[in-house]
Amino acid sequence: RAALEAVREKLVADKPSYKYFTHLVAALAVSKVIVRELKDPFHWTTVFAVYGETNRLKTKQEHPNGEDFLITKIAQLTWLFEGISPDQGSWDIHIVDDGCPDGSGAACKKVAEERGGGAAVTVAYLQDAIDQKLPVASGIATTKDSRKGGAIHYGLWDAAQKKHAGKVHSICYTDADLSTHMGQSGLLLDIIVNKGKVGAVGSRRAREAVMVKSGGRNTRGKLHAYLWKQMMPEICYVVDTQTAFKAFRADMVEKLTDDLMERTMSFDLELLLKAQLNASEGEALGQAGICWKDSEAESTSGDSGGYVTLLQQMAAIYRHYLPKNDWQESFACFLDSLTGAGFDTLLLNTPKAIESRDAAQYKSPDTVSVSELQQAIMEGPGGGAGGCADPMAVDACGEWLAKCKGEAGTPAGVIEKVQELAVDDLDLTIPPYELQVRCAADLLIKEHSTRAALEAV
């Protein structure tokens, strides 16, 4: 593990020089070795909500926005946990239909049963939790009251009801799309099983993280982080609250999902805050830098009005859980009055003290006050946005891996060969790319094992 972490650290130290593909290979290799070396028996549950996902559920041949996400997630988790005995480690996927009128839940069940992996996949329906008046669904009159949050809450709670005797049960939630490669789950397992944290947060903004996201959406994420951190210093150490790649100990889920106020876009922040407030001391949450690539096709998160609503909900969470403070309250009041047009202007004229810094450096109170934000809105727009290159053609996986092996005889040699041959813009919805990245991680692990054996001799 140490040697593979050193390879990843080398890439991180010179992050822009290496392709996303190469970074992901290193992260996957570290993740898989962590899983292999876990001493405590474990069970890993992956939860995600589905609503309007019938297109992304398809293959690219069936629909232009198809990601084949369920079969791909099954393949990623099967790869991660291969070779682990059932007594030592096990896993499953728990999907929750968030009231989808197109029947996304039933479509997922059908795909799992017809194409393999059905035994590891279960599908639940938020409507059932409402009809049964389960405590986790209290306050939800219809599925329309949930925008993913209610479904994730139910999924976490429902998964926690299933007992796995003698194993550390961790429950992760993610998005239906392929923004996060589930082969990185070992990075979160490490935090919960080895480091004893209540929860683990996959972060796009940690030092070792690599994120591919269009310029406007990246600035928006920084602005979002700055604003919520001004209201909630208790979890200011958390760098990224909105990435859908988080896990909690199953024995803590009951407390986290009890008496919740937020069922829509800002549900992540409430869960994290509750985890910290329920901790006896110190930081309840650990963070792991991950590789993450935006999946904008069919995404519903781009509307500025919806983003303002998200921030206003966060202000309500602050007022519900935390004592009032002049600095914090000034930001809550600012957000209460913020409009979509005002947010768009602020996004284009974000103060340099926010835009030029890493989100991990933001603190509360920080340097940019509400009056400066108001002034930025009055002064009007500025700045710009960037984009990503088109994917390159690739060889078949076997031929590609043969090239990667080359004359490489050390982990560093493998990673340099991968960097040379990797595509510039990794698209995990294209099967050869997805297979290549897993195979390359295995190759990196194998080369390290061979070198370690030689050194021992």
pLDDT given for residue 387 in this prediction: 24
> H/E element holding 416?
helix 411-421
Q: How many Å apart are CA 205 and CA 239, to the nearest integer? A: 6
Query: What average pLDDT score do residues 277-295 get?
Result: 92
Query: What average pLDDT score do residues 108-134 get?
Result: 95
Per-residue b or e along 347-384, where b marks 16 or more CB atoms closer than 10 Å to that residue's CB: bbbbbeebeeeebbebebebebbbeebeebbeeeeeee
pLDDT given for residue 439 in this prediction: 85
| Comparison of pLDDT for 451 and 153, the residue scoring more | 153
pLDDT given for residue 219 in this prediction: 82
Structure confidence by residue, pLDDT tens digits, 337-378 = 999 889 989 988 999 999 999 888 999 999 999 999 999 998
Assign a CATH topology to domain 38-204+240-301.
Spore Coat Polysaccharide Biosynthesis Protein SpsA; Chain A (3.90.550)
Residue type, 308: V
Query: What average pLDDT score do residues 281-291 get?
Result: 94
Domain ranges of the chain: 38-204+240-301
Name residues whose C-beta falls within 8 Å of residue 11's C-beta, 6 or more positions apart in sequence.
18, 22, 23, 26, 415
User: By C-alpha distance, which of 136, 133, 53 is closest to 99?
Assistant: 53
pLDDT given for residue 392 in this prediction: 32
Structure confidence by residue, pLDDT tens digits, 165-215 = 999 999 999 999 999 999 999 999 999 999 999 999 999 989 999 998 765
| Comparison of pLDDT for 243 and 395, the residue scoring more | 243
Q: How many Å apart are CA 440 and CA 344, to the nearest integer? A: 41
Residue 454's pLDDT band, with cuts at 50, 70 and 90, is low
Residue 391's pLDDT band, with cuts at 50, 70 and 90, is very low
pLDDT given for residue 400 in this prediction: 60
pLDDT given for residue 104 in this prediction: 97
User: By C-alpha distance, which of 142, 116, 119, 120 is closest to 129?
Assistant: 142
Structure confidence by residue, pLDDT tens digits, 47-75 = 999 999 999 999 999 999 999 999 999 99
Tokens standing for 215? 């310029």
